[in-house]
Amino acid sequence: MRKILAVFFIGVFGYYMLAILMDFPFGIDHLNPGLAGAYLKDTVSKTGAVNVVTSIIVNYRGFDTLGEVTVLFLAATGMSALLYDGKTMNRSRQNASVIVKAGSRLLFPLIIILGAYVFIHGHLTPGGGFQGGAIIASGFLLMFISYRNYHVSHRILSNVESTAGSVFVVLGLLGLLYGATFLENIMPLGIPNKLFSGGLIPLIYIAVGFKVGAELTALLDTMLKTVK
């Protein structure tokens, strides 16, 4: 009896959900007027990027994205300051098995390439700087948990992070100097669906990808270490 009632309620729920979805208009010809409709209709022609979400994040509301990147930097810096006490630190666990170590050596460069691909093509495909940076950090995480003595230079990571952040700000200021607003897309838009398109958008996402990857890698390295 319980199974019959469960099937009945699931069927009723599914029916009403399907009925609701059928009432939603789909397609660009059925867009509701307003901000969302304007984004979907005009984004490709105005930005040259076919990924509408990317255009909104790093172009229309790029100043907000700069704030988000700043928050991530402050969070990573604060966490590192809490965990690091100035003493010699190392990982307390043993090395992983030979199979895991060999596999990590094989997968690591492929993960880095995938992360770079994601943020370089962020204006063409789902993804972008935050996702690509997280993928790159996951590659370093694999090496951290496979090799006890695998180290990264925090000085290099800091330089990469600060350089990427500076590039983001400089690109935004160029919009003020040669355009009218911060992060205005002042470069040629190119042909949509081509790699060299979208104006400033791919450059911004590349900077964000390096910045996020460096910050998360440094944070993971610090979190996985203990006082020796």
Tokens of 82: 């809490």
Helix axes 201-223, 154-178, angle to 10 degrees: 150
- Residue 49 CA: distances (Å) to CA of 118, 154, 170: 15, 34, 21
Q: What is the mean pLDDT of each successive set of 10 residues along the chain, which is 228 residues long? A: 81 83 65 67 80 81 80 80 63 73 92 94 85 94 87 89 89 82 82 85 90 90 69
Q: What are the domain boundaries of the chain?
A: 50-227
226 DSSP β-pair partners? 90
- Residue 153 CA: distances (Å) to CA of 76, 159, 164: 16, 10, 17
Determine the Cα–Cα distance for residues 129 and 190; give it in Å rounded to an integer: 20
One-letter amino acid for residue 209 of the chain: G
Determine the Cα–Cα distance for residues 135 and 141; give it in Å rounded to an integer: 10
Please tell me the predicted confidence (pLDDT) of residue 142.
Answer: 92
73 contacts 215 by C-beta, under 8 angstroms: yes
Please tell me the predicted confidence (pLDDT) of residue 228.
Answer: 47
Please tell me the predicted confidence (pLDDT) of residue 46.
Answer: 80
Please tell me the predicted confidence (pLDDT) of residue 227.
Answer: 44
Instruction: Quote the pTM value.
Output: 0.75
One-letter amino acid for residue 103 of the chain: G
Neighbours of 125 (CB within 10 A): 13
Please tell me the predicted confidence (pLDDT) of residue 47.
Answer: 82
Neighbours of 40 (CB within 10 A): 13
Tokens of 163: 């350089």
